[in-house]
Amino acid sequence: MPVILSIAFRNLREHRLKTVIIASLIALGMFLLVLGNSIIDTGKAGIHESFVRSFSGDILVGPPGKDNAKPSLFGGGFGGPNMEPTKTVPDYKNTYEYLKAVPGVEVVDPQVYGAAQIELTEDWRAFVGFFGVDIAAYSAMFPDNLEILQGHFLAEGEEGVMIPEKVYLEALEKTKVDMKPGEKIKLMGFGGGTKIKFLPVAGVFRFKSSNTALRDIGFMDISSLRYLQGMVVGAVSQIKIDDTAQNLMDSDIASLDSFFDDDGVVSEAPGTTTKSLSQASLDNILGDTSNRAELVKADAGAWHYILLRTKDGVDPAAVIKDLNADFKSRNMDLVALDWEGAAGVVASFVVAAQTFFLILVIIISIVSVIVIMNTMVVSIIERTAEIGTMRALGANKSYIRKIFMTETFTLSVVGGLIGLVLAGILLFVLNRTGLPAPHSLFEIIFGGKIMHPVLSWVSAAQALGIMLLVGIVSSLYPTMVALRIQPVKAMQSN
């Protein structure tokens, strides 16, 4: 082995240019891998911290949607007649008590999410997502995630809205209308038909954990949000009507025309013995209307999902696994998700960024393999006489293969370490100075406006393994070329 190492190092010294080229390519690949993975990992950790601390808690529990779609923080949508309404937690009261009793769970926070249109002028409208929360539970779950810029946070039982800073500033710039605390604004909801409600502004705020995807989300008192989303109690009893009203509803247009005389009242209803029908009689057809308010009353037991925060030291993944197994065994129409599942579309940006980076890594690896392979083939052709001489002196194919593999391994390790050191230095500088997001989309990936990336040792180890693999794969074909050289012809070629 010492002889093989000596020959390999000598060959690397004698072919300095090719050694530098190959080592530089490996160092560049290592540098990009470590830097990119560290930025992605730091961003993911930032988003995780942001969501868990400010939006999702550790676990989200909710009913699956249509075609078993996973629930998320933003499952409420805009509603409307052509949209599938978001399902609510079944048997909420018992489900809530059940989740409170789960070992390892510290805080339970039910929420509703929905969107409403704010209309300040005829020319300016904005769709804003709103969280409807139980004030006490929300405050316990997220005690310090909001910065109140004006007014105050909604109090228990208070009717009103909390306007996010971005929407407030945009409205002020474009309409000159100041949605200051105390002012009433017009909101339109589209759950089960268009609904309008005028609500006072309780305050203006921003989330302390900055996230582009969540800057348009505010808060609304839960009763108002349920009303705008069409989450009402609905009919609770069957309505009974008399024969006169039934025959009236069963009549076609022609019979209805003959039913009324020129004064709007007819003396006899078709198929009935009624001789006269006054305005009071027409009103009575509607029956008892005293329950109308109850029928459109917001359902106090309607929640889209329930957030859970686990106790310190408790693994949320283990709790999620146990919950889903228990839901299945109890035949409960619920599913438990981690923060990524709760984040929904926001987390998908991170996944997309990681996928893009993976594709970039694959392209770089393929290019590196091709360049390194070509460089090594050229090196082998230049060393034809040397290889032939060693074969003539008794070196078998295994011996020659070990020499080339040692050279490749050495280049991969040296190049990889150089790339790691360079990436570590740059990451140290960026951690101290901060890496600003060049675009709002990058704020989602970065987990904020400024990222302070740290070196990911796991990513570094993975990158080093990839570079070693690239080096080995790159050496396979050149080694095969070297092993095909015939000793006699090789010696004569010199």
User: 3-state SS of 202-214?
Assistant: EEEEEECCCCHHH
Backbone angles phi, psi at 49, to 5 degrees: -65, -40
Number of Cβ within a 10 Å radius of residue 80 = 15
Do residues 446 and 426 both lie within one domain?
yes
Whole-angstrom CA distances from 208 to 50, 165, 189, 194, 447 are 9, 12, 28, 33, 12
Digit-coded pLDDT (tens) for 20-56: 888 888 888 888 888 888 887 887 777 777 778 888 8
Q: 461 Cβ partners below 8 Å, 6+ apart?
A: none
Do residues 108 and 189 both lie within one domain?
yes
| pLDDT exceeds 90 at position 234 | no
Q: What domain range is 264 assigned to?
A: 243-290
Do residues 71 and 43 both lie within one domain?
no
Q: What is the pLDDT of residue 74?
A: 82
pLDDT confidence tier of residue 63, bands split at 50, 70 and 90: very high
Sign, Cα dihedral of 247, 250, 252, 253:
positive
Do residues 201 and 319 both lie within one domain?
yes
Digit-coded pLDDT (tens) for 292-315: 444 444 455 789 999 999 999 999
pTM score, whole prediction: 0.68
Instruction: List the structure tokens of 456.
Output: 């990911």
Do residues 215 and 310 both lie within one domain?
yes
Query: Under a CB-based contact definition with an 8 Å cutoff, are residues 153 and 203 in contact?
Result: yes
342 assigned to some structural domain = no
Do residues 398 and 265 both lie within one domain?
no
Digit-coded pLDDT (tens) for 254-285: 554 554 455 544 444 455 444 444 555 545 55
Do residues 266 and 190 both lie within one domain?
no
| pLDDT exceeds 90 at position 353 | no
**Residue of 97, 305, 310 lying closest to 321 (CA atoms):** 310
CA atoms within 13 A on the CB side of 93: 3
Do residues 230 and 274 both lie within one domain?
no
Query: Under a CB-based contact definition with an 8 Å cutoff, are residues 400 and 482 in contact?
Result: yes
Give the range with max mean pLDDT: 111-115, 371-375, 465-469.
111-115
474 assigned to some structural domain = yes
Do strands 124-133 and 217-220 pair parallel, antiparallel, or not at all (unpaired)?
Answer: parallel
97 assigned to some structural domain = yes
Do residues 95 and 180 both lie within one domain?
yes
- Mean of pLDDT values over 338-345: 81
Tell me the C-alpha distance between 245 and 237, whole Å. Answer: 18
361 assigned to some structural domain = yes
471 assigned to some structural domain = yes
Higher per-residue confidence, 337 vs 450: 337
Rounded percentage of the chain residues whose pLDDT exceeds 70: 76
Whole-angstrom CA distances from 94 to 50, 77, 140 are 30, 26, 21
Do residues 82 and 26 both lie within one domain?
no
Which residue, of 306, 337, 368, is where some domain finishes? 337
| pLDDT exceeds 80 at position 335 | yes
256 assigned to some structural domain = yes
Do residues 92 and 230 both lie within one domain?
yes
Digit-coded pLDDT (tens) for 91-149: 999 999 999 999 999 999 999 999 999 999 988 999 999 999 999 999 999 998 899 99
Query: Under a CB-based contact definition with an 8 Å cutoff, are residues 189 and 197 in contact?
Result: yes
Which residue, of 224, 259, 290, is where some domain finishes? 290
Number of Cβ within a 10 Å radius of residue 212 = 20
Which residue, of 337, 366, 394, is where some domain finishes? 337
Number of domains in the chain: 3
Do residues 389 and 458 both lie within one domain?
yes
